[in-house]
Amino acid sequence: MENQKSELLSFIETERQKGRPLSEVLGNLKVARSTYYRWQNPDAVKAMQSRRRRRRNPRKVTEEEKTRIDQMKTDCAIRSKPTGQFGPFRPVNSEQADRLFRSIPTGSLPTV
């Protein structure tokens, strides 16, 4: 493949020295102009590719963020350990429930 490229590049250079325009020579050979320039300077293509960085997906969670999330989950689980059968909340008896219900203004309750 490299041999074919070098032959084509030398042929193109010969034709250009004869005075033919580059676009005409490349058009007859069915070689794109970008391909010709890439063949001429392969080191520049490699340098450009090495400079090019992959775009980071802004929605992707990084490893550092995953670690912080796991730590927060652990911290929250420790702080909110259930205190009894009903979790961190105390059960309400009927007397307490009646008192709570009566303390709510009647105009704020939805009608059913």
Per-residue pLDDT, averaged over 16-34, amounts to: 91
- pTM of the predicted protein model: 0.40
* CA–CA separation, 32 and 39 (whole Å): 11
- Name the 3-class secondary structure at 87: coil
Burial class (CB in 10 A: 0-12, 13-18, 19+), 8: middle
pLDDT at 106: 60
**pLDDT over 60 at 112, yes or no:** no
Question: Any alpha helices (H) in the chain, and if so which ranges?
Answer: 2-17, 22-29, 33-40, 42-51, 63-79, 94-103
Banded pLDDT at 36 (limits 50, 70, 90): confident
Q: What confidence tens digit (pLDDT) does each residue in 47-74 have?
A: 666 666 666 777 888 888 888 888 888 7
Would you list the domain boundaries of the chain? 2-51
33-40 vs 2-17: helix axis angle to the nearest 10? 110
